[in-house]
Amino acid sequence: MEIWTCPNCHREFFRPNQQHYCSHHTIEDLLAERPPELTLAFDALLLAVADWQPQTIGAGKAAIIFNNGKAWMVIRPIKAELDVAFFYGELLKSPVIKTARLDNMGKNKYIHHIRLRDETYVTDEVVRLLRKGFDYMLKPTPKKRKKTATTKKGKTKA
Ligand SMILES: [Zn+2]
């Protein structure tokens, strides 16, 4: 997949000349004023998902955005926690999900929030849920790409 880097802010996008807010914030800036545990939590999360492809990661004004053609995960430092938001086509139930609600922007999908205080919060369960969110947002591909046959039956037993 072709990746375009904005010459001004050096953020990466999947479409050339993608419209965006040119931000000079970095992930380090966003986490700098926060408890160091949040950086540990972020690093653990990054380690868990960084290999998932396609993916670009960028820092906006107040959030770190993980994009696989669409923004599939948005991370915001809120006080002493990292708020991790991701989307799915139905409500997922899990003890690690703090809140979930219908997100009516565009399609009917649900936005789920997980809160992390340090790296021990990045559990297998958290990674499993995020993977569902990643795969869900990957499905309706904006570009013409071959349909991969790797999609698992998406029945959730929670
Ligand atoms: Zn830019």
Boundaries of every domain in the chain:
23-138
Measure 35 CA to ligand 1 centroid, in angstroms.
29
- Enumerate long-range contacts of 74-81, CB under 8 Å, 24 or more apart: 75/42, 75/45, 77/30, 77/31, 77/34, 77/38, 78/115, 80/34, 80/35, 80/37, 80/38, 80/117, 81/38, 81/115, 81/116, 81/117
Mean pLDDT to the nearest integer, 111-133: 98
Q: Which amino acid is at 60?
A: G
Work out the pLDDT band at 158, boundaries 50, 70, 90: very low
* Arithmetic mean of pLDDT, 100-121: 90
- The model carries a pTM of 0.77
- State the architecture of 23-138 in CATH terms: 2-Layer Sandwich (3.30)
76 Cα: distance to centroid of ligand 1 (angstroms): 20
23 Cα to the center of ligand 1, angstroms: 6
Q: How many angstroms is it from 65 CA to the middle of ligand 1?
A: 14
What's the gap in Å between 127 CA and the centre of ligand 1? 30
